[in-house]
Amino acid sequence: MNKFILLAITLICISFSLSGQNRFDDVQIKEYKLTDQIYMLEGAGGNVGIYIGEAEVLMIDDQYAPLSEKLMAKIKELSGGMTTKLINTHWHGDHSGGNENFGKAGAMIFAHENVRERMSKEVVRGDQVSPPSPDIALPVVTYKDAMQLHFMGEPVLISHVHNAHTDGDSFVFFPESNVIHMGDCFFHKRFPYIDLNSGGSLNGIIEAVEAAAMLVNDDTQIIPGHGPMASKSDLMKYHTFLTTLRDRVIAHINSGGDEKTLNAAQIVEGYEDWSWGFIDAEKMASIAFASLSSKD
């Protein structure tokens, strides 16, 4: 190979790895205390929930691999201990990217069976390729519909919802503490991503939110997959958005409209503030259209 080309490739690789590192270098892990035992941790990626026991910590989601050390340090600071049990709300890398590190540190990982299935194989979504995860990163306890743990005497309900954000989503509910982690079935104050390539659907998300609404009350503290802490009334606002989105897109389809004639501004009218870097109005409208016009 021409040595200039080789040099150019090397420089590109170095700059990629540097920028990859920089992205997480400045991230600080911030904690929000919900109860004496439960905190939400915010860094980069999905929100993390932790339940601090006497000598061990139950963790829900673990963000990206480069943040594991910072998360472990924060957990140590808050609890004096480490994560022994880890639940993944779904397979996406911004929620399960730390699995390998936490698995190596001794955490037992729990998730819906489709999470293990997807993480075991290479997954191609558009131009994004996710390689298979090493064994140590895979959930070792899987379930089909639901399971219950007992952690430090408190029941922990892990409940699967079908074809919502993906085909492997779970909620984690602590009925005695009245706290729920909803994973990416709830994006708070921002448009949701629905991963149609991983079995997600708009109708499934609506059903998932309805299922969660039956579990919670006005005092429940709700940890969304992304965005700030929420209450039941925030969840119901999100439900109104989702059903409004569905009804507007269905009206468009029923009037013979196609994706080209979709007016994104009209479809998300009243919710413009929820546009963010990853999902803007156009992307939200087109995901909803694709989901509702799919024959699956």
Least CB distance to Zn ion at residue 91 (A): 8
- CB neighbour list of residue 273: distance below 8 Å, 6 or more residues apart: 189
Nearest CB to Zn ion, comparing residues 105 and 211: 211
Q: Which lies closer to Zn ion via its Cβ, residue 92 or residue 232?
A: 92
Contact yes or no for 126/78 (Cβ under 8 A)? no
**What residues have CB less than 8 Å from 187, skipping those under 6 apart?**
193, 224, 225, 226, 227, 238
Q: Which is nearer to Zn ion, 79 or 88 (CB)?
A: 88
Rounded to a whole number of angstroms, the minimum distance from the CB of residue 64 to Zn ion is 12
Note whether 200 and 167 are within 8 A (CB): yes
Please, what is the minimum distance in Å from the beta carbon of residue 111 to Zn ion? 13
Choose between 52 and 115: whose C-beta lies nearer to Zn ion.
115
Residues composing the chain: 296
Shortest distance, position 164 Cβ to Zn ion, whole Å: 10
Binding site for Zn ion (CB under 5 A): 92, 184
Contact indicator for 48, 62 with CB cutoff of 8 Å? yes
Quote the least distance from Cβ 170 to Zn ion, whole Å: 12
Specify the residue, 79 or 89, whose C-beta has the smaller distance to Zn ion.
89
